[in-house]
Amino acid sequence: MRGHIPALDGLRGLAILLVLVQHAYVPPGEGLVDRFVRFWMDSGWLGVDLFFVLSGFLISGLLLDARAKPGYFRNFYARRVLRIFPVYYLVLAFMFLVAPRLGNWVHTEGIGGTAVWYVAYLANVHAALRGPTFTALGPTWSLAVEEQFYLVWPLIVLLCNRRRLTLACIAIIVLAPLIRVGLLLGGMDLWGVYALTPARMDGFALGAGLALLARSERRLASYARLGRTAVLLGGTGLVALAVWQGSFRWDTVGMETAGFSLGALAFGGLLWLAIAPGRVAGWLQVPVLRSFGRYSYAIYLLQVPILEVLYRLMWGTDVWTRGSERLLFGSPVLSQLVFCVILATASWSAGWLSWHLLEQHVLALKRFVPYARDGGQPAEPEVKPLAAVLAPVPVRAN
């Protein structure tokens, strides 16, 4: 039996709010409060890293529960297509066919001749080779990373028993930061290291390892200390690194070598606390967080064109050439706060419309490719479905 854990919707909501905060940046003043606000807003890129850990946990969990059953590959990839393709390719169609006719409202400069990269989910490779494109298609690099990882991960899950899969997760967690260091020493720029899949695998692998651990015989509550320790070590190390280098920006050698790993560790601990009984799981079930989490996929894809339109309406300038904004109420901090709220509200509304007009209707087609419940035995009996070991946490069946 599979179960839905409400706190994980809250984690998705937290991740997308971090991304929105990062993109809602309005150049502040030079006062102490302004610099403090900027310091923490620069950490919003961590939302993507949280998505990677959460995705590794959820997708690996589905694969573990379904392996050695009929339609393992067919059902997995069919359901992935239903979840990610409709909104993604609608955004691509808008950007390549409609946006160039809208004047300056949505930035399209530089996307000519690049359609094949985005259609093939190679936006991250394009960015690494030719530099990022500052358009509404910018966020697609992380979707490319995720889909590239899941081209090979289902086969690894199917072929490995519990011990070998655990070792594979550990090996990837260790290897990814070494790859980042090697790429930097080899002369690759910071954006390339940030966007290439081999350098970002540790977050997925950590989530996958937690999916394995969650399906062990022991109760999740017995691991609460593990989650708290991971959050403390990863979070403290990450903040200390940011303070030491004077910035939370991702495009620094410190963040790209140690910071990504520390963030994955902290988010792994937070995820563990989310699925175990306790206060953290309760906090993450706040309705507003769960609501943002439910619509997070469309919000992630639609946020930048919304940002571009809002920025031009409010500030009268291109979002990619910031610096001449008129402050609201004469205060940089209030300007930041107001713009964050407006962007979050508009993006949530777009996500709500996408869900109710398109996504939920497409996802209803998943009934034609259900995960098999009968007709096969688990490849390894000791790896149990999460719901079977999650008794202390309220579980709602799908």
Residue 252 inside a domain? The answer is no
Residue 184 inside a domain? The answer is no
pLDDT number for residue 322: 62
The candidate with the shortest Cα–Cα distance to 3, out of 275, 227, 235, 199, is 275
Domain range enclosing 388: 3-103+202-247+259-397
Residue 141 inside a domain? The answer is no
pLDDT number for residue 208: 96
Would the pLDDT of 1 be above 50? no
pLDDT tens digits, 249-258: 999 999 999 9
Q: What proportion of the chain, given as a percentage, has pLDDT over 90?
A: 59
pLDDT number for residue 47: 96
For residues 134-162, average pLDDT:
92
pLDDT tens digits, 229-256: 999 999 999 999 999 999 999 999 999 9
Average pLDDT, the chain: 86
Residue 86 inside a domain? The answer is yes
- Residue 312's Cβ-count burial label (10 Å; 0-12, 13-18, 19+) is middle
Helix (H, G, I), strand (E, B) or coil at 172: helix
Cα-to-chain-centroid distance, residue 312: 27
pLDDT tier, 28 (very low <50, low <70, confident <90, very high otherwise): low
pLDDT number for residue 392: 39
pLDDT tens digits, 327-375: 666 677 777 788 889 999 999 999 999 999 999 999 999 999 887 553 3
DSSP string, 252-309: SHHIIIIIHHHHHHHHHHHHHHHHSSSHHHHHTT-HHHHHHHHTHHHHHHHHHHHHHH
DSSP-derived pairing of the beta strands 3-4 and 396-397: antiparallel
Would the pLDDT of 393 be above 50? no
Residue 45 inside a domain? The answer is yes
> What is the distance between the alpha carbons of residues 41 and 119, in angstroms, rounded to a whole number?
31
Measured distance between the N- and C-terminal CA atoms of the chain, rounded to whole angstroms: 9
Helix (H, G, I), strand (E, B) or coil at 326: coil
pLDDT number for residue 277: 76
In angstroms, what CA-CA distances link 290 with 10, 56, 284? 4, 19, 7
**In the chain, what's the furthest Cα-to-Cα distance?**
67
In angstroms, what CA-CA distances link 367 with 59, 87, 179, 376? 18, 19, 40, 19
> What is the distance between the alpha carbons of residues 202 and 211, in angstroms, rounded to a whole number?
14
Residue 117 inside a domain? The answer is no
The runs of H, that is alpha helices, within 94-189 are: 115-119, 123-130, 140-159, 162-185
pLDDT tier, 276 (very low <50, low <70, confident <90, very high otherwise): confident
For residues 269-291, average pLDDT:
91
> What is the distance between the alpha carbons of residues 115 and 148, in angstroms, rounded to a whole number?
18
Residue 218 inside a domain? The answer is yes
Would the pLDDT of 385 be above 60? no
For residues 166-178, average pLDDT:
97
> What is the distance between the alpha carbons of residues 382 and 389, in angstroms, rounded to a whole number?
11
- Which is more confident, 217 or 273? 273
For residues 121-125, average pLDDT:
94
pLDDT number for residue 378: 34
**Ranges 33-42, 43-52, 61-70, 320-329, most confident:** 43-52
Would the pLDDT of 211 be above 90? yes
The runs of H, that is alpha helices, within the chain are: 6-23, 32-41, 46-66, 72-93, 115-119, 123-130, 140-159, 162-185, 190-195, 201-214, 224-245, 253-254, 260-275, 279-283, 287-294, 296-315, 332-354, 360-363
In angstroms, what CA-CA distances link 363 with 70, 226, 354, 355? 21, 35, 12, 10
In angstroms, what CA-CA distances link 383 with 163, 213, 255, 304, 360? 10, 9, 35, 41, 31
Cα-to-chain-centroid distance, residue 15: 6
Task: Tokens 């358009």: give the residue.
Answer: 135
For residues 375-395, average pLDDT:
41
Q: What proportion of the chain, given as a percentage, has pLDDT over 70?
A: 86
Helix (H, G, I), strand (E, B) or coil at 4: strand
> What is the distance between the alpha carbons of residues 63 and 371, in angstroms, rounded to a whole number?
10
Residue 47 inside a domain? The answer is yes
List the beta bridge partners of residue 396: 4
- Residue 74's Cβ-count burial label (10 Å; 0-12, 13-18, 19+) is exposed
pLDDT number for residue 397: 32
Helix (H) or strand (E) segment spanning residue 396: strand 396-397
The letter for the amino acid at 358 is: L
pLDDT tier, 389 (very low <50, low <70, confident <90, very high otherwise): very low
Number of folded domains in the chain?
1
